[in-house]
Chains A and B, each alone.
Chain A
Amino acid sequence: MSDLTKLTVADARDALRTGDVTSVELTEACLTAIDGADALGAFVHKTPEIALEQAGAADARIKAGDAPDMCGIPMGIKDLFCTNGVASQAASRILEGFKPEYESTVTSQLFDAGAVMLGKLNMDEFAMGSSNETSCYGNAVNPWRRGNDDTLLTPGGSSGGSASAVAADLCLAATGTDTGGSIRQPAAFTGIVGIKPTYGRCSRWGVVAFASSLDQAGPMAKTVRDAAIVLRTMAGHDPKDSTSADLAVPDFEAMLTGDIRGKKIGIPAEYRMEGTPAEIEKLWADGANMLRDAGAEIVDISLPHAKYALPAYYVIAPAEASSNLARYDGVRYGHRAKLAQGDGITEMYEKTRAEGFGHEVQRRVMVGTYVLSAGFYDAYYNRARKVRTLIKKDFEDAFAAGIDAILTPATPSAAFGLGEMTEADPVQMYLNDVFTVTVNLAGLPGISVPAGIDKQGLPLGLQLIGRPWEEGDLLNTAYALENAAGFVEKPSKWW
């Protein structure tokens, strides 16, 4: 079989089961591709020994007739997931040398199902960023380019390494995490599919925390079907995470009929923003038409508090982060600054955290500390929480009115050049999340589907937002959109 790395998860699964290919062959092909793709900066810790061992074991299981869907599928794992005995740094210098003695629930479930880990993937430090430029490893690079222009582009963030690796066929699928858009935005920037499930669908146990009330893990994959397959294995109730939902996980793949006749798709007026490029507007309109042509009813809806989502998000997420990141103090693990004679505990904290955290993380820790301080708490944090409740209610009202899914652009632009935003006001960068953060604030499932190519030849994505716990239905709508959009382009290999 030629070019094994280009296989989808579904095709690879079928080929593994028929014996047309072995997991070791698939894995070796991916490892070779990874070794040839250092220029993409996607993989930051390669684990070929583990991969080949897991692949061998998977082949034995397949031979024995015990082959779950993910058995033998080579994957990349975002560096935010703690993987037993393997460096897990959240792309931060402060976790230098940290190798956990435990395996996150999500990766355990994948590996128990026979999935193969090729290595750890680049990301923004502590998942804070929209361009993968805050990583301590250096940025990951988008395999897509603007036509013949060789400017390096961002794969998006924070799951930039995951997006880049999947788009460049370095792995069949990858794990991502999404706190404000960190799966959906990079998926849109790289022409792949990424789903953030309902908050509580995937366990957060063993995933380095950014903002606990918003963080969710999810798959990044080449197709909607693949996303459905991988999500099913990642999801499920975990008693070790008190916020994990005790709900059965359906066979999402079996729900992909492509039949969306009679579904009501909402188009929120508030998402039409000034300054949105015409190409994005057009993509959105095209997407609505495709869904209509597939038999869905397109309904104009209002999510009146949407415009407050971004500020609320940038209060709540840093507030939680400032507390979640307090544990990185140099006392027990990771980086500890060299101390001068006479330095005490305060100097140890200050120097360690100044050296260990990058600027964006420091900024958010300071913002978070500020909004929680006495005298500011009500004006910022409490108000943001109230806004969050209103945003959630907007969605509840829409769903109560019969809306099945909401269609929006995934991002306000196509992938931008690395370095282009670093000099800008950080708020410019935060605006990348404008279409995605509402979904996290409301705890809803959201999926990004590649739906078109802009004039420069870059992929653009559309976002579908679903009812809580109805990822199956959401994936099916996304599947219909995917079929209608017929997005088949691939980046041409330059790396």
Chain B
Amino acid sequence: MLDLSYETPKPKVIAGAKHDWELVIGLEVHAQVASKAKLFSGASTKFGAEPNSNVAFVDAAMPGMLPVINEFCVEQAVRTGLGLKAQINLKSAFDRKNYFYPDLPQGYQISQLYHPIVGEGEVLVDMEPGIARLVRIERIHIEQDAGKSIHDMDPNMSFVDLNRTGVALMEIVSRPDIRGPEEAAAYVTKLRQILRYLGTCDGNMQNGNLRADVNVSICLPGQYEKYQETGDFSHLGTRCEIKNMNSMRFIQAAIDYEARRQIAIVEAGGTVDQETRLYDPDKGETRSMRSKEEAHDYRYFPDPDLLPLEIEQAWVDEIAASLPELPDAKKARFVTEFGLSEYDASVLTADTANASYFEEVANGTDGKLAANWVINELFGRLKKEDHSIEDSPVSPAQLAGIIKLIQKGDISGKIAKDLFEIVYTEGGDPARIVEDRGMKQVTDTGAIEAAVDEIIAANPAQVEKAKANPKLAGWFVGQVMKATGGKANPKAVNEIVAAKLGQ
């Protein structure tokens, strides 16, 4: 595997009234494990079910009920850790995080505070070709999700839906290595891409299957480097945590707002309070949810209902051996193996379906040509009809067929577009269509020569002009193409026209 070289992006700088300020950002991403059953019960995790229909006795915290770990969820966490090049802890343990809330029936969330299953890893966050930020992952732990409280259905009552209660989450905690709102969104995007490659989380942010808590602080230029050298957080500003963001756009807007809010406070001589805040997308602002003083004392302690989680290296190795090629490696390979630009390689590796479609087309044809066709023609056409690659009417084999006809010189690029449209709307074997409908490019120089002679004979005035100004030869080429219904090989036409005009 080989990596592409990159440079580190410049941190975002916000000009305050007095100084320039830099941002320091760390994220806690909650990714729902793509599992059909919950973390400690057999209840379904299907989205959109009737309220309180996916609830086992243990999810509702009925007396005497006990959690039993879902091995599949553990496997997904290990897989995710391996995908983030992280250390896998063969021994981890579950702790209880205690707090009261109606959508938390047990009165505690089972999580992993002291001994997470995954240790340090990394994510390479691509900003643009050749520019990327390496974000360190501090840890990943598995924990239960809470249910949903609904307060606006009745003036006097609140409603609780426990369907989500106990669903498995992976909390992926980054170091404060992210230096701007765009980087934060790019980090989440990259993380989601990796999770989808691994198949461990579907990354659907709308359904809340991927959410982020964002920690934001500000510092003067130069301070971050001091922090990096010493690891001493006192070089950085006081951080605020913005909870539960489920859109890339909101993440950026909230960070930008929050940074400016903190700058205004500090420049006015105040201090930033460490607190938990919520982003209000309607007003475009963050507001305080609870201050440090109001912060819960979660009274974490080891869950006595669960034994420490011990896994074997052989099992981890087995999972490692089953990992797919991940985005960075695939992108690098596309650049080197198919000669693509880094940009095109990024587009094609954005998700595995696109990438494997492209590879099927590119194998046996030409990489660059295939990339052009997939990105420009196919993606453009699919987007127009809001189709995903999975339900593309043109199969990779069909698109490869079209490209092969171009490569053989059987059709021109222009005809190929017509052919693509026919295949897209009507289906069929491209070679057969070309044959049946007489779309084959004329490469018979005799026929082209005859057509050129005819045009020259019919347009003596143009011939004179063209002889004086060779640029006008294009007009003859166009006329020949028109006369041959676009089927003439453009290269041959160009050569013959030039020769006949004595150029």
Does residue B228 face the partner (Cβ distance < 8 Å to A)? no
Which stretch of A12-20, A117-125, A208-216 is in the interface? A208-216
B306 near A242: Cβ-Cβ < 8 Å: yes
Contacts known (A211-B304, A243-B307, A372-B301); A326 close to B63, Cβ less than 8 A: no
| Pair A241/B100 contact, Cβ less than 8 Å | no
Q: How far is B300's CA from A372's CA once the two chains are assembled, in angstroms?
A: 7
Find A207's partner among B62, B64, B68, B102 (CB 8 Å cutoff).
B64
Check if B100 sits within 8 Å of A329, measured CB to CB.
yes
A75 to B144, CA, bound (A): 39
B337 on the interface (CB 8 Å rule)?
no
Is B297 within 8 A of A373, CB to CB?
yes
Q: Is there a chain B Cβ closer than 8 Å to A282's Cβ?
A: no
A111 smallest CB distance to B (angstroms): 16
**A323 touching B160, Cβ below 8 Å:** no
Chain B's closest residue to A382 (CB) is B301
Query: Is the CB–CB distance between A323 and B66 below 8 Å?
Result: no
> Bound complex: CA of A372 vs CA of B65, how far in Å?
23
**For the complex, is B61 an interface residue (Cβ under 8 Å from A)?**
yes
- Contact, CB under 8 Å: B301 / A242: no
Contacts of B304 in A (CB 8 A): 211-213, 243, 320
Q: Which residues of B contact A455 (CB under 8 A)?
A: none
Q: Are A326 and B66 in contact (CB-based, < 8 A)?
A: no
Report the separation of the CA atoms of residues A331 and B159 in the bound assembly, to the nearest whole angstrom. 10
**Contact call B108/A326, Cβ cutoff below 8 A:** yes
Please tell me which one of the listed residues A90, A207, A349, A377 contacts residue B100 in the complex, with CB atoms under 8 A apart. Answer: A349
Chain A residues whose C-beta falls within 8 Å of the C-beta of B101 in the assembled complex: 345
Stretch at the interface among A31-39, A45-53, A95-103, A165-173: A95-103
Tell me whether A327 and B67 are in contact (CB under 8 A): no
Known: A213-B304, A323-B301, A331-B102. A82 touches B63 (CB 8 A): yes
- Which chain B residues (54-103) contact chain A, with CB distance < 8 Å? 57, 60-69, 96, 98, 100-102
Q: Are A242 and B307 closer than 8 Å at their CB atoms?
A: yes
State whether B60 touches A332 (Cβ < 8 A): yes
Chain A residues in 8 Å Cβ range of B64: 81-82, 100, 104, 204-209
Cβ contacts under 8 Å, B60 to chain A: 332
Task: Please state if A239 and B68 are interface contacts (CB–CB under 8 Å).
Answer: yes
Partner pick for B305 among A81, A212, A239, A325, CB 8 A cutoff: A212
Determine the chain B residues whose CB is within 8 A of the CB of A329 once the complex forms.
100, 102, 107
Closest B residue to A331 by CB, please name it: B102
A374 at interface, CB cutoff 8 A: yes
Inside 8 A of A349's CB, which chain B residues have their CB? 100
Residues of chain A with a CB closer than 8 A to B158's CB: 345
The verdict on B292 contacting chain A, using a C-beta distance below 8 Å, is no
Q: Kindly state the separation between the CA atoms of A81 and B64 in the bound complex, as whole angstroms.
A: 8
- Say yes or no: is B10 at the interface (Cβ < 8 Å to chain A): no
Query: In the complex, what residues of A have CB within 8 A of residue B100's CB?
Result: 326, 329, 349
B63 and A240: CB pair below 8 A? no
A326 x B107 contact (CB < 8 A): yes
Find residues 400-432 in chain B having any chain A CB closer than 8 Å to their own CB: none
Q: Is B119 an interface residue (CB 8 A)?
A: no
Determine the distance from Cα of A204 to Cα of B67 in the docked complex, in whole angstroms. 11
Chain A residues with CB under 8 A of B215: none
**Contact mask A311-336 → B, CB, 8 Å, 1/0?**
00000000110110111010111000
Q: A206-B64, A323-B98 are in contact. Are A374 and B297 (CB under 8 A)?
A: yes
Task: Provide the A200-231 mask, 1 if CB < 8 A to any CB of B, else 0.
Answer: 00001111110111000000000000000000
B18 within 8 A of A: no
Q: Is A476 an interface residue when CB atoms closer than 8 A count as contact? A: no
- Which residues on A sit within 8 Å (CB–CB) of B305? 209, 212, 242-243
Cα A349 to Cα B101 with chains together (Å): 9
**Given A82-B63, A90-B63, residue A319 in contact with residue B301 (CB < 8 A):** yes
Q: Verify B68–A240 contact, CB threshold 8 A.
A: yes
Residue of B nearest to A334 (CB): B63
Say whether chain A's binding surface is mostly helix, strand, loop, or mixed.
loop
Q: What chain A residues lie within 8 Å of B66 (beta carbons)? A: 204-205, 240-242
A135 an interface residue at 8 Å Cβ cutoff? Answer: no
B393 is an interface residue with CB less than 8 A from chain A = no
Q: Which residues of A from 24 to 65 have beta carbons under 8 Å from B?
A: none
Please report the C-alpha to C-alpha distance between residue A98 and residue B65 in the assembled complex, in whole angstroms: 14
A373 to B160, CA, bound (A): 28
Chain B nearest CB, measured from A110 CB (Å): 16
- The A466-486 residues at the B interface (CB cut-off 8 A) are none
Q: Given A323-B107, A331-B102, A331-B105, A208–B63 Cβ distance below 8 Å?
A: yes
- Chain A's closest residue to B40 (CB) is A242
Do B61 and A332 touch (CB < 8 A)? yes
Chain A residues contacting B384 (CB-CB under 8 Å) are none
A22 at the binding interface (Cβ < 8 Å): no
Q: Does B437 contact A (CB under 8 A)?
A: no
Closest chain-A Cβ to B373's Cβ sits at a distance in Å of 54
Tell me the smallest distance from the CB of B190 to a CB of chain A, in Å.
35
How far is it, in angstroms, between the C-alpha of A207 and the C-alpha of B66 when the chains are bound? 10
Chain B residues closer than 8 Å to A189, beta-carbon distance: none
Is A88 in the interface zone, CB < 8 Å from B?
yes
Check B67 against A242 for contact (C-beta < 8 Å): yes
Closest CB-CB distance, B56 to chain A, in whole Å? 11
Is there an interface contact between B301 and A381, defined as CB atoms closer than 8 Å? yes
Q: Which of B57, B65, B106 contacts A326 (CB 8 A)?
A: B106
Question: Is B283 in the interface zone, CB < 8 Å from A?
Answer: no
User: Residue on A with the closest CB to B306?
Assistant: A242
Asked if A372 contacts B307 (CB within 8 A), the reply is no
In the bound complex, residues from chain B placing their C-beta under 8 Å from that of A95 are 63
Cα distance A242–B302 in the bound complex, in angstroms: 14
Closest CB-CB distance, B177 to chain A, in whole Å? 28
B68 touches A242 (CB 8 A): yes
Residue of A nearest to B160 (CB): A331
User: Which of B61, B62, B108, B297 sits near A102, CB closer than 8 Å?
Assistant: B62
B299 adjacent to chain A (CB < 8 Å): yes
Task: Write out the residue numbers on chain A whose beta carbons fall within 8 Å of the beta carbon of B108.
Answer: 323, 326
Cβ < 8 Å to B, chain A residues 323-365: 323, 325-327, 329, 331-333, 345, 349
Contact of A372 among B63, B68, B299 (CB under 8 A): B299
> A82 vs B64: C-alpha distance in the bound complex, in angstroms?
7
The winner among B96, B101, B107, B297 for most chain A CB atoms within 10 A is B107
The yes or no answer to A162 lying at the interface (CB within 8 A) is no
Q: Counting CB contacts under 8 A, is A164 at the interface? A: no
**Which single member of A101, A242, A345, A381 contacts B102 (CB below 8 Å)?**
A345
Residues of A within 8 A of B57 (CB): 101-102
Closest to B94 in A: A242
Q: Which B residues are in CB contact (< 8 Å) with A208? A: 63-64
Q: Sample 14 A-B pairs with CB under 8 A, ordered by A number.
A: A95-B63, A100-B64, A104-B64, A206-B64, A213-B304, A242-B67, A243-B307, A320-B301, A327-B61, A331-B102, A332-B61, A345-B158, A372-B301, A377-B299
19 more A-B residue pairs beyond the given contacts A98-B63, A205-B65, with a C-beta to C-beta distance below 8 A: A82-B63, A88-B63, A104-B64, A206-B64, A206-B65, A211-B304, A212-B304, A240-B68, A241-B66, A242-B66, A326-B98, A326-B106, A329-B102, A331-B102, A331-B160, A332-B61, A333-B63, A345-B101, A374-B297
The 8 closest A-B pairs by CB, nearest first: A326-B107, A213-B304, A212-B304, A372-B299, A327-B61, A206-B64, A208-B63, A82-B64
